[in-house]
Amino acid sequence: MPNDVGHEIADTLGLLLRRSTRAQLYRRLTEGIGEPLDETTYPVLSGLARTGAVSAAELATEIGLDRSGVTRRATRLEEAELLRREPDPADGRATLLVLTPAGEQAVRATRERLAQQISVALADWPDGEARAFARMLQRFTAEGPFTRSAAVADRPDESPDSGASPSGGESC
Q: Where are the domains of the chain?
A: 3-109
Q: What is the CATH code for 3-109?
A: 1.10.10.10
Q: Could you give the 3-state DSSP secondary structure of residue 130?
A: helix
For the chain, the average pLDDT equals 84
Kindly report which listed range (34-38, 61-65, 107-111) carries the lowest average pLDDT score: 34-38
What is the model's pLDDT at position 123? Answer: 96
Sign of the dihedral through C-alpha 29, 63, 80, 54:
positive
| Cβ neighbourhood burial of 1 (10 Å; 0-12, 13-18, 19+) | exposed
Is the distance from CB of 34 to CB of 50 less than 8 angstroms?
A: no
Rounded Cα gap, residues 162 and 113, in angstroms: 39
pLDDT of 91-147, one tens digit each?
888 899 999 999 999 999 999 999 999 999 999 999 999 999 999 999 998 998 877
Local structure of residue 31 (DSSP, 8 states): T
What is the model's pLDDT at position 168? Answer: 40
